[in-house]
Structure 1
Amino acid sequence: MVVGLCWAGPAQLALAARSEAVATIAPPVPLLWKVSNKDGTALYLLGSFHMLKADDYPLSSDVDAALDASARVLFELSPEEMNSPALARSMLQAAMYTGGRQLKDDLAPATWQQLQSYAQANQLPLASLAMTKPWFVALSISMAEMARQGMDAQAGLDRHLMARASEAGKRTGGLETAATQIAMLDGMAPVEQQQLLSEALQQAGDGELSRRLHEAWRRGDDRMLWEEMAQQMRRDYPQLYQRINVDRNDAWLPALEQRLQAGQGNTLVVVGALHLLGSDGVVEKLRARGYAVERICSACARKGRRP
């Protein structure tokens, strides 16, 4: 499952390891929109993939231009929180059961059996996860499946642009805090947590899904991502989709609109691609509020197609 949550570590080593051959690969077509107010203040919205490959770099010149034009860069979490050793500790602490309850107690028998089969086939240390909650196990499986496809959180787009923003001396910030993200996950009802785990196991069964989603992200295919990532979750797990996507999008809107006020300067916003897609996405929510919105895609123009 490609969740729009931003957990990552340092990226510099992964990106430094690129070979000369990588430069011959065309840069990814960005999921990039420009939202403008009447005085021309711009908000650039960039859809991220939180785990990428070294050969997903360099980025499109469109992303470079948006970064150069922005005085501030916002992420789901601020770079300070992303870099803090306390983040992983807080996450694991929240994920641990107390009072003698165990993972098996919160899963339907069929889901537990499916998880056992997956763990045996994929060397997942289920015994060490027995005291952690379903949401944590779901994220662990999702990240493991993407890693199996050669993707690495250290090379994620968020981490890459955090480093570049720091080098350029740009102001940075987060749309939410780590505590908010953890509370969102840990606050899920048992049925939601089981749904999250069921979806992770279902998508793990489709060994090609991570590859297809990654390829769709590379070619800027928002329609395919919407159909195979967002729409599927909205259809099969509406309560989970509401919590992970819609509620967070709505919570971000006031801060995004504040950045569009006159005199604020341009801002680049980097969030998981899920948050920008469809009628529930930030792009359409801002369009509905009267802002001018355009997709930025130089590669699309060169190929004579609409983004």
Structure 2
Amino acid sequence: MRRPIIVVFFSLFLMAFQALAAERGALFKVSSGANVLHLYGTVHAGRPDFYPLEPRIGAAMGAAPTLALELDSNADPAAMGAIIMKHAMFPTAAEGLPGLPEARRQRLETSLRKQGIEPAAVGQMKPWLLVVTLAMVDAAKLGYDPKLGVDAHLASLAKSSGKTRVIELESMDYQIGLFNRMPVDDQWTMLEDTLADMESGRHTREARELFAAYESADQAALERVAKRLEEDNTVGGKFTREVLMVERNGPMADKIVSLVARENNAVVAVGLLHLVGKNGVPELLRKRGVKVERVY
């Protein structure tokens, strides 16, 4: 009798260990009355070994009538292209990189080439788009592919199920338009700072830290990332904190409160950094009177 008991015990232990080992990101249970919603923190680039997802978020997706994302990046590629042209490209190349004072232009062109970007190919891009492009370059160096982003994977699961609708918390025009609000000279400064951080290795270290925190659901590491963001007073750091995070978190929280009030078992998936710190979405939800429990 002892052998079957040992086998069963070992199997249960192994199952628990596998579930624990597969935890990634951050998962919260949000409750309002009789309704429950799962709030999941994602990264926008990934690797094949991220999937299948951890069983609890997988089960939540299987029961979800609605998946709410920041954006459904695959919804309308043509519309996305038009919005990129509207917000992310200068009307003429003369307003972009080729039109900068010679010394500044040469410094930037040299730094871009070091990162594998040919200046002639990006001359009409606004600096903020170059910063986003550089972030993707760094992610690729670390082995992460935007096509394997967690939010995109969740959207594919929802659409393939045939029973989970996908809604967006924001519009592409709104989200991309935020970057366009930064004064152009500040954008050039942010690009210079980003290139300097890439040359020093800081940019890669911080990207690696965020991905590692996601992969191990490391709450302490995520709080360190949040603290660094709160203390970063560079042009890019302040913009990220004040506009890309704080300004967006409040409306996201409002929409989540509305969703859980009217619907049971929805899943909301947003970028991991929206879920950390004193101004993160979980804290804002608590202030709005809904119950928030951290699963991991």
Both proteins in one fold, TM over 0.5? yes
Give the counterpart letter for 2:137 in structure 1.
A
Q: CA RMSD in A?
A: 2.7
How far, CA to CA, are the matches of 2:263 and 2:170 in structure 1? Answer: 20
- 1:153 alignment counterpart: 146
Query: Would you say the 8 A contact 1:196–1:240 is kept in 2?
Result: no
Deviation of the 1:43 alpha carbon: 2.2
Structure number having the greater helix percentage: 2
Q: How does 1:45-124 map to 2 (within 5 A)?
A: 45-78=39-72, 81=75, 83-98=76-91, 100-103=94-97, 115-124=108-117
Give the counterpart letter for 1:134 in structure 2.
P
Query: Would you say the 8 A contact 2:65–2:266 is kept in 1?
Result: yes
- 1:136 alignment counterpart: 129
Query: Would you say the 8 A contact 1:106–1:190 is kept in 2?
Result: no
Deviation of the 1:126 alpha carbon: 1.3
- 1:254 alignment counterpart: 254
- 1:27 paired with 2:26, answer no
How far, CA to CA, are the matches of 1:290 and 1:106 in structure 2? Answer: 51
Q: What stretches of structure 2 of length at least 5 have no aligned partner?
A: 1-17
Change over 3 Å in CA distance of 1:217–1:248 after alignment to 2: same
Q: How does 1:207-218 map to 2 (within 5 A)?
A: 207-218=204-215
Once superposed, which parts of structure 1, at least 4 consecutive aligned residues long, lie more than 4 Å away? 104-110
TM-score by length of 1: 0.78
Q: What stretches of structure 1 of length at least 5 have no aligned partner?
A: 1-22, 298-307
- 1:36 paired with 2:31, answer yes
Query: Would you say the 8 A contact 1:275–1:282 is kept in 2?
Result: yes
1:191-224: CA deviations, max 9, x gaps? Answer: 5424542453354232333223211111112332
1:16-68: CA deviations, max 9, x gaps? Answer: xxxxxxx9x9424341111111x231221111110011112221112112213
Identity percentage over the alignment?
Answer: 27
- 2:170 alignment counterpart: 176
How far, CA to CA, are the matches of 1:107 and 1:249 in structure 2? Answer: 38
Query: Would you say the 8 A contact 2:41–2:271 is kept in 1?
Result: yes
Change over 3 Å in CA distance of 1:123–1:30 after alignment to 2: closer
How far, CA to CA, are the matches of 2:219 and 2:31 in structure 1? Answer: 21
How far, CA to CA, are the matches of 1:250 and 1:164 in structure 2? Answer: 27
Three-state SS of the structure 2 residue aligned to 1:260 is helix
Q: How does 1:238-253 map to 2 (within 5 A)?
A: 238-253=238-253
How far, CA to CA, are the matches of 1:28 and 1:202 in structure 2? Answer: 34
Query: Would you say the 8 A contact 1:30–1:63 is kept in 2?
Result: no
TM-score by length of 2: 0.81
Change over 3 Å in CA distance of 1:239–1:149 after alignment to 2: closer
Three-state SS of the structure 2 residue aligned to 1:73 is strand
Change over 3 Å in CA distance of 1:108–1:133 after alignment to 2: farther
Aligned residues: 271
Change over 3 Å in CA distance of 1:108–1:95 after alignment to 2: farther
Give the counterpart letter for 1:245 in structure 2.
M
- 1:225 alignment counterpart: 222
Query: Would you say the 8 A contact 2:25–2:272 is kept in 1?
Result: no
